[in-house]
Amino acid sequence: MAETNGSSSPPTGTTGSGTPEPPHAKRMITFWLIISLVVDVLYYTLAGPHMPPGDMTSAASGAQFDLNILMICALPVILGVWTYLGYALYNFREGRPGTLLTGPMAHGNFRLQVGWMVGTTVLVLGLFVFGTAELIIPAGAGGGEGPDPIWTPTSHTVLPIQVIGQQWKWTYRYPTYGGFETTSLVIPDNTTIAFHVTSLDVIHDFWAYQLGIKADANPQQDNVAFTTTHQLGQFTVRCDELCGLWHGAMYGFGHVVTKAAFAAWATRTEAQLAANTKLLPPFQWTYVPDANGADGGYYPDNVDPYSKVEIYGAQKAKV
């Protein structure tokens, strides 16, 4: 934006003592171009590769690239305003010889105004096109895409994992492994994953930081987010939407392991948890909230704690 600051020829004026006005605009633009270039290059080479959320998955590296491009556009804008402010405040301060401008330039400058508007519009539209491409091509960029995503990954082998938020913990169900439910999140490397995020009570938000995944967990909604893993390692999971008292404690870790290790873990866990899985409600994409949950106790415990509807966490009615 700031490049338009001086795009019009500076008004020619004279100082009180008759010396010609120095070429303010030219000086500023030169300084600004140099410093922007230096800072952008330094940023991209030194900071860029380390910017969050890293490159553990496709969504993460996409977000990192996007963040870097935005920084490269934003830094010159900020530097431009700072340059101008610094220059103007120093050179045009009271007590330093200078003219007061009462000509047409003082009330406005048509070319400068149009230039500024065109400049900011071009920048903004460019960012919009870039952001949209970065959202659609990588299948939603790791953000929650609602129950039926229209931007989906090209891979044919997608591993679905259900993420269930409840006050105040995360659990995970693996529908392709018999729908067992566990509190540990283990995912295979080099695999496209579809996180199906839902909630049993209030709104939570599943944030797998290093995976570049973030999706709200809404009660009775299935919110899908995709990513493809690229690296082995541990990642952080936090709840990112205020969900009540222990929101800050919905904090944990997950692991990206090799495909073989994942298959071994999943089959083993499926077998270990088989007895528990039978007690769980059958796997569904969403569940009716717990009787004592979001509803704020509208169905008091003594009336009918587990309604006839299939409720997550309910024991099967004993006949």
Partner 1 sequence: MAIDTTAPEAPLGAAPPPAAPAPHRPVWLQQNVLTAIVLAVAGFALGHWAGNRIAGGYPNVAGASGENEVAICLSLGLGVLGWLLGIGALNYPIAKMFGREAIQEPYNPSWTRFFKFSTDHKVVGVQYFFGVITFFFTAGLLAMAIRTELLYPTNHLIGPGTYIEIVGEHGTMMMMMASSAVVGPLGNYLVPLMIGARRTAFPRIEATSFWLFTAGYLVILTALPFGGFPTGWTGYAPLQTQASGGMDSYLVGFAVIGLGMILAGFNLIATIIHYRAPGMTWARVPVFVWSILATSALLALATPTLVTAGLFGILDRTAQTAFYVNERGGSSFLWENLFWFFGHPEVYIMALPGFGIVAEILPVFTRKPVFAYRVATAGMFGVALLSFFVWQHHLFQSGINPDMRPLYMLTTELISIPTGFIYLVTLGTLWRARIRFEVPMLFALGMLFNFLIGGVTGVFLSDVPVDVTVHGSFFVMAHFHYTIMGGLIFALFAGIYYWTPKVTGRQFDQRLGKIHFWCMFVFFNCTFFPLFILGLLGMPRRVFTYAANLQFLNDFSSVSAYLLGTSFLIFVANFIWTIVIEPRPAPANPWGSLGLEWQTPTPVPYYNFERIPVVMNDPYHYAEADADPVADISLPPPAVAMNRPPAAQAIEP
* Residues 141, 22 contacting (CB under 8 angstroms): no
Which of 3, 25, 127, 8 lies closest to 77, judged by CA? 3
Among 36, 162, 192, 218, which residue sits at the site for partner 1 (rule: CB under 8 A)?
A: 218
- Chain residues 96-125 in contact with partner 1, contact rule CB under 8 A: 97-103, 105-109, 112-113, 116-117, 120-121, 124
Contact between 202 and partner 1 per CB under 8 A: yes
The Cα 140–Cα 134 span in angstroms is 8
Contact between 47 and partner 1 per CB under 8 A: no
- What's the length of the chain? 319
Contact between 35 and partner 1 per CB under 8 A: no
Contact between 46 and partner 1 per CB under 8 A: no
Instruction: Report residue 99: phi and psi, to 5°.
Output: -95, 160
Among 209, 283, 285, 306, which residue sits at the site for partner 1 (rule: CB under 8 A)?
A: 209
The Cα 205–Cα 227 span in angstroms is 17
Distance in Å, CB of 183 to partner 1, minimum = 18
Which is closer to partner 1, CB of 185 or CB of 202? 202
Distance in Å, CB of 254 to partner 1, minimum = 14
The Cα 25–Cα 88 span in angstroms is 10
Contact between 8 and partner 1 per CB under 8 A: no
Terminus-to-terminus CA distance in the chain, angstroms?
72
- Report what 143 binds from partner 1, Cu ion, none; CB cut-off 5-8 Å by kind: partner 1
* Residues 205, 240 contacting (CB under 8 angstroms): yes
Contact between 247 and Cu ion per CB under 5 A: yes
Token pair in block for residue 127: 């960012």
- Report what 24 binds from partner 1, Cu ion, none; CB cut-off 5-8 Å by kind: partner 1
Contact between 240 and partner 1 per CB under 8 A: yes
Kindly indicate which of the ranges 158-166, 245-253, 257-265, 266-274 contains the residues binding partner 1, using the contact rule CB under 8 A. Answer: 245-253
Cα 95 to its chain centre, rounded Å, is 49
Contact between 51 and partner 1 per CB under 8 A: yes
Cα 83 to its chain centre, rounded Å, is 31
Binding site for Cu ion (CB under 5 A): 204, 239, 243, 247
